[in-house]
Homo-oligomer: A and B are copies of this chain.
Amino acid sequence: MARIVMKFGGTSMAGTERIRRVAGIVRRQQEAGHEVAVVVSAMAGETDRLVNFCREANALYDPAEYDVVVAAGEQVTSGLLALTLQAMGSKARSWLGWQLPIRTDKAHSKARIEGIDTDEILASMAAGEIAVIPGFQGMTEDRRITTLGRGGSDTSAVAVAAALGADRCDIYTDVDGVYTTDPRIVAKARKLKNVTYEEMLELASVGSKVLQTRCVALAMKENVRVQVLSSFIDENAPAADTLPGTMIVSDEELAKIQKDLDMESQLITGIAADKNEAKVILTAVPDRPGAVATIFTPLAAANINVDMIIQNVGREDTDTDVTFTVPQADLDRTLAVLEENRETIGYQKLTKDSKVSKISVVGVGMRSHAGVASTMFKTLADRGINIQAISTSEIKVSVLIDSDETELAVRLLHTAYGLDG
């Protein structure tokens, strides 16, 4: 017997017919002898509908009241899933965020989970009752409803799994696992059996939309085994234990798995592309100590997330060019901040370019191998793809290229690193 947390997203919960499919999948887990808790999202489209009501009511809405409104979506689906499970003959009950409670800080609309009380729910699960928990919601210490921000239900599921000491957190999504790259770009992309938390973090942060960065970071911190699975499996398929999803595990566990299977660790795990970056170039910034700080301090104050930063030698010895990237959604605000601080920074020219893509190769294996970056640069250069910027971490190399060349670059690299299935 294991204790398993299952999580279903909005597409899986959109309407009573789909909720019945979800209930079938949940019941198979229970019939396999496991204790089961289920975390659910609101019906697809419902959160948007509620957010729009809030915007119409008050453009500068009070996040505490916004949370009261939008938390209703998950409340509805958790009650409906409990009802559906009961209709199929299972014992089940819903546990709302304030009932457990899921305790959070007071940062309404983007709260962080501080703890979950589990005595009652564990007793209920031990008595054979399936626990249904609305994702995305919690409660402050002064008993007001909070929400965790968009995509927060995955984070709820991992937090619940950690609090319950669950053996596994199965996240059912509209893809059936994590791939070496986007299968819509590379037909030969392979599904990964295992991936480490750190790899998943890098993949999430560079545009692989399977899981939110925040959810993976929490899983890594709490050491929760997370499995990504498709919710569109056959209703009569066996329980998830035997389903071929992708398991997200620690470095150590991956090393053990590879040793057991007598497998060599792969150099590169996956390749991701992110088209949502924009490039900003400041020309002829004075080359003196502290100059770069005058650029990035006001951007940080404006909560703009700067990603890659490259400082080039300028045309004269006394100045320098600085290039960096920001999310496209923040580009207008970035330009406004830079205009405001033009005199302090002292740049001559401000250039922007939204037609860029960031291509990243990710893998824990690259820690022990030299030459990953040079393979990347050579592969792209051979086909005349110009690299506009480079950034690296211990398990990732990213380059910025013209967005027209995104798909070509991903395919070339997928082959170059031996990932083609």
Contacts and interface: CB of A to CB of B under 8 A. Distances in A.
Interface in A65-100: 65-69, 71-73, 75-76, 78-80, 82-84, 86-87, 93-94, 96, 98-99
Copies of this chain held together in the complex: 2
A263 interface: no
Contact of A83 (B54, B73, B76, B78): B54
Given A19-B57, A80-B53, A62 B86 contact: yes
A58 B83 contact: yes
A96 B93 CA distance: 21
A82 B144 CA distance: 14
Interface in A256-302: none
A16 B83 contact: no
A382 to B, nearest CB: 57
Interface residues of A, number: 40
Contacts of A80: 53-54, 57, 65, 69
Contact of A143 (B58, B99, B145): B99
Interface of A: 16, 19-20, 50, 53-54, 56-62, 64-69, 71-73, 75-76, 78-80, 82-84, 86-87, 93-94, 96, 98-99, 143-145
A137 to B, nearest CB: 11
A229 B19 CA distance: 42
B50 A62 contact: no
Given A57-B87, A68-B79, A98-B98, 15 more contacts: A16-B57, A19-B57, A50-B76, A53-B76, A54-B83, A57-B80, A60-B87, A66-B79, A66-B83, A67-B79, A68-B82, A68-B94, A69-B76, A69-B79, A99-B143
